[in-house]
Amino acid sequence: MRFSAQSTALFFGLFYLFAFPVSSALAGLAEHQQAQLQVKKFQYKTALQKSQQAIGSQIGDYVLTDHRGHSLSLAELRGKPLVLSLIYTSCYHICPMTTRHLAKIVDKAHAALGSDSFNVAVLGFDAYNDTPQAMLQFARKTGIANSGWYLLSASPATIKALSRDLGFEYFPSPNGFDHVIQATVIDADGRVYRQVYGETFDTPLLVEPLKELVLGRPKSNQSVLSALVDKVHFFCTTYDPARDAYYFDYSLFIGMGIGAFVIISGIVVLVREIRHSRRSAGA
């Protein structure tokens, strides 16, 4: 059977018309299935367990990059506690909201413990996109650009290793990344001390571990008087749920003063009675 040029062209035209949408649909289905598999990789319960298991782990001395493009070793941040939050800058809602809330709690912690008592850093874990410029833009958008926080970027290999130390898991998803929303409290020696979770969280969840690290633990080369002052500050710094703020509670000193006055008064009265009894017996 012979086909004319017109018949051949018509045949291939019909083939292209029907085959191309099918192939496109199959390709789209494959991409969707791949995305679904990626989403299934992230299990919140498992990720949370790994995050908790990281508590007590030593953080490696990784070299990161700040928003000016300068290298910064994590060892340079030791000597005082560090709050480290992991975000990705292309996140348009959750990460900015989480960072704004974290900033409010950090301000309360600084007010209670001192503005220079601990460091705060935000690290972009999307290594290919979270450049120093992107981190600075994210900081400006969330209002932390002038707060003294460290805005950090890192290479893919460094992000992978540091995430493992922190117990932080993340996976690509159709909407960006699936990950546990966490801020990690690291002690002065570079060990994971506490994990704080959630887009928003209660103030004591972050401030209490910082309070323990800043005031509750003795520091190297600290004088006895300074250690005593820290202990007093530790026990007298109290959280007020009504104001959602920490304050120094003087009532402990008032109670101690009243107690001391009662004891001394009792001793004075007792001594007078003894002297009076002796005089009466001598007479």
What pLDDT, in 10s, does the model give residues 26-69?
A: 444 444 445 444 445 678 899 999 999 999 999 999 999 999 99
Q: Given this model, what pLDDT does residue 229 score?
A: 63
One DSSP character per residue, 126-157 reads -TTT--HHHHHHHHHHHT-TTTT-EEEE--HH
Distance CA 204, CA 196 (A): 10
Same domain membership, residue 67 and residue 198: yes
Residue 153 CA to residue 131 CA, distance in Å, equals 6
Please indicate, yes or no, if residue 275 is contained in any of the structural domains. no
Domain termination site, one of 153, 183, 202: 202
Of 202, 227, 251, which closes a domain? 202
> At 147, which CATH number?
3.40.30.10
| Position 169 in a domain | yes
Task: Determine the average pLDDT of the residues in 152-170.
Answer: 97
Residue 276 has pLDDT above 70, yes or no: no
What pLDDT shows up at residue 78?
A: 95
Same domain membership, residue 138 and residue 97: yes
Q: What total number of domains does the chain contain? A: 2
| Bridge partners, residue 245, by sequence | 240
- Residues 134, 160, single domain; the answer is yes
Instruction: Tell me the per-residue pLDDT of 217-262, one tens digit each, with 9 for 90 and over.
Output: 766 666 655 655 667 767 788 888 988 888 877 655 565 556 666 6
The helix/strand count (H/E) of the chain reads as 8, 11
DSSP track, 20-49: HHHHHHHHHHHHHHHHHHHHHH--HHHHHH
pTM assigned to the model: 0.74
- In degrees, to the nearest 5, what angle opens at C-alpha 212 toward C-alphas 210 and 215? 95
Q: Containing domain of residue 101, as a range?
A: 47-202
Pair (175, 56) in one structural domain: yes
pLDDT, one tens digit per residue, over 107-157 is: 999 999 998 999 999 999 999 999 999 999 999 999 999 889 999 999 999
